[in-house]
Structures are given as structure tokens and as C-alpha cells.
């Protein structure tokens, strides 16, 4: 059976995530303990107790979600459950790269800690916002963003999640204007997101440059049997890729999860497993194919239910 592992991105976090799995499985315990040791942070406390305000800070969110996903993954690996393809949403791509062995666990934790810090702290001092646009073609959304940008406002598409959901990012006044215009253009809904960073836009150029320096010290292993889909263009990583450049540019480039879905469909994936908090990515898969066989593993109950199936 062809199986894909999916790793969630920022926004999936919830206080208490992973606690029941940590208490039940030594494999999960080991991951939380090692991540805390490598990062010098009490990742376990952050995930299990919060507080929410602290967990929601980008510099904390990224390492917390990644650690939770990797703890669940470790249990699946111990049970002999493997995937042919792995991908993720933004920070989730690191879960896929670690699973494939392209990045070591230790380097992955160090990188995501730095990435979260730079993305959370190296942002221009302006008011930014993001919004999810439901039920409108991305080409139309791009047009609206270009129109508003002509008024000397910053607004771009940041995430192409699936054919019916696209996320825009920009200055708060530009996003507010876009919400009304997009509804008039036929969007079913436009939802302002609970984030203040202009993620996956050129406004994070400074964060990208700082992160490039971190990537210089990392060794990547491209001799792997698991295929990993890149967020940046929805194609597989290959040995000719400049992975440092790709991961740095990832910070300022739109996420193309829509293309990742198309590639997995083309590859005839039969089972999609989202590993970590939330159920966002399987939601995107279902939007494209109602019949898709999807699983979310984000709690002890869902893990054991999956193991029994």
C-alpha cells in the first residue's frame, strides 16, 4: 500500500498536545526529553502546560509542533509503520525531512528553534495580518492582491493550500480591504487568521538571511528511499537540489501544498496519515478527493485507533 506521512504547520498547536502519548509510550518520552536537551528549552512543559500565550509565540510554536509530531512518528516507527512519501506544511516540511533522514533529528531541532526565533523576531515593525480565502480561484485572489498593491500597500498570496483555500498575507489595512473585495468577487468566506507575521513573504528577508547562516553548518543526506515533497514548488527533493537555498527561500516564498496534493494523487497514494496536532492537512486532501483514505494521529485515542485498523 502506498502511504504518505503529512506533518502540520503553525496554527495547529494546542496546550496539552502529545501529553497522553508521552505518558503511554517510552519512544515518545525519549523524543520530548531529547528535544528539550538539544534546545535548552522545556519543550515538554511548553506543549503540555502552555500557557497558550507562550505556546502561540512563533519562536515556541515551531519547536513544540515539530517535537510533538516527531514523538508520534517515533511510536509509528517502533510499530513498523512506514511511508513512501512525506511532506508537510511550512515548518511541517522539517518533520518530513527528518523522517526521510535528509536532516538528522538533532540538526532538525536546532534548525527549527532558530527558524522560529528569526521568523518571530526579525519582522519589520508594522501591522501585518493574514487571512484564509475559501471558495475562490487563486488566480482571482492574485488579481485582487495586485490591484490593492497598486495603492502602495503590501499584500500577496502566502499559502496555496488546496483548490478551494488560499491564504493572503500583508499589511493589516490591505488585508482588511481585500476581505471586502474578495467577498464581492465571490469568495464563500474570508477568515482573518490569528497571526501577526507576514509569513512566506518578502517581508521576512532579514529572517531568511539570518537563517541562511545557520544552514551553512548543516550536513544533508540525500541518499534516502523516502520521497519528500517540497513546499516551494510541489516537486520531490532530488540530489541536485541546493537544499540550503531551498530551505532559506522557503521563509519568503509561498507554500504550494496544492501542488503537493496533486503529486500525491498522481502517485496514487492510498493512505494519508497526518502526524501531529490538528487535522488541517487531511482536511485539504478531503477537499480535493472526498474518497481519500485519511487518518489523523494527534492523541492517544487516535493513535491506538489507527494501530488497530
Of the residues 36, 90, 129, 138, which is catalytic?
Answer: 90
Given the residues 129, 169, 200, 250, the one annotated as active site:
200
Q: Is 302 left (phi over 0), alpha (psi -120 to 50) or beta?
A: alpha
Residue with grid cell 493589516, as numbered in its chain: 172
- What is the C-alpha to C-alpha distance for residues 212 and 233, in angstroms, rounded to an integer? 19
| 146 grid coordinates | 495586485
Answer yes or no: are the C-beta atoms of 306 and 79 closer than 8 Å.
Answer: no
Alpha-carbon separation of residue 162 from 110, 145, 283 (angstroms): 30, 18, 9
165-176: burial string, b at 16+ Cβ within 10 Å, e else: bbbbbbbbebbe
**Is 200 an annotated catalytic residue?**
yes
Q: State the catalytic residues.
A: 90, 200
Amino acid at each position: 500500500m502506498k502511504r504518505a506521512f503529512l506533518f502540520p504547520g503553525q496554527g495547529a498547536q494546542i496546550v496539552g498536545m502529545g501529553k497522553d502519548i508521552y505518558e503511554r509510550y517510552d519512544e515518545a518520552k525519549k523524543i520530548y526529553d531529547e528535544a528539550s536537551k538539544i534546545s535548552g528549552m522545556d519543550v515538554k512543559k511548553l506543549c503540555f502546560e502552555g500557557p497558550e500565550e507562550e505556546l502561540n509565540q512563533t519562536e515556541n510554536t515551531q519547536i513544540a509542533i515539530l517535537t510533538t509530531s516527531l514523538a508520534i512518528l517515533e511510536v509509528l516507527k517502533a510499530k513498523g509503520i512506514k511511508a513512501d512519501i512525506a511532506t508537510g506544511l511550512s515548518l511541517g516540511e522539517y518533520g518530513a525531512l527528518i523522517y526521510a533522514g535528509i536532516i538528522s533529528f538533532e540538526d532538525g531541532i536546532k534548525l527549527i528553534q532558530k527558524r522560529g526565533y528569526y521568523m518571530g523576531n526579525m519582522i519589520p515593525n508594522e501591522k501585518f495580518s493574514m487571512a484564509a480565502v475559501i471558495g475562490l480561484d487563486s488566480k482571482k485572489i492574485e488579481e485582487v492582491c495586485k490591484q490593492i498593491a497598486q495603492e502602495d500597500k503590501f499584500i500577496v498570496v502566502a499559502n496555496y493550500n488546496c483548490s478551494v483555500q488560499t491564504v493572503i498575507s500583508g499589511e493589516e489595512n490591505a488585508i482588511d480591504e481585500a476581505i471586502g473585495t474578495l467577498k464581492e468577487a465571490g469568495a464563500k468566506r474570508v477568515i482573518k487568521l490569528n497571526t501577526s507575521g507576514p509569513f512566506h513573504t518578502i517581508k521576512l528577508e532579514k529572517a531568511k538571511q539570518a537563517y541562511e547562516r545557520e544552514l551553512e553548518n548543516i550536513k544533508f543526506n540525500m541518499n534516502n528511499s523516502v520521497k519528500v515533497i517540497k513546499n516551494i514548488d510541489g516537486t520531490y527533493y532530488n540530489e541536485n537540489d541546493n537544499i540550503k537555498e531551498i530551505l532559506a527561500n522557503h521563509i519568503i516564498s509561498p507554500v504550494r501544498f496544492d501542488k503537493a496534493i496533486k503529486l500525491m494523487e498522481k502517485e496514487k497514494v492510498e493512505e494519508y496519515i497526518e502526524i501531529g496536532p490538528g487535522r488541517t492537512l487531511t482536511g485539504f486532501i478531503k477537499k480535493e478527493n472526498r474518497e481519500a483514505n485519511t487518518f489523523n494521529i494527534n492523541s492517544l485515542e487516535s493513535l491506538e485507533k489507527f494501530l488497530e485498523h
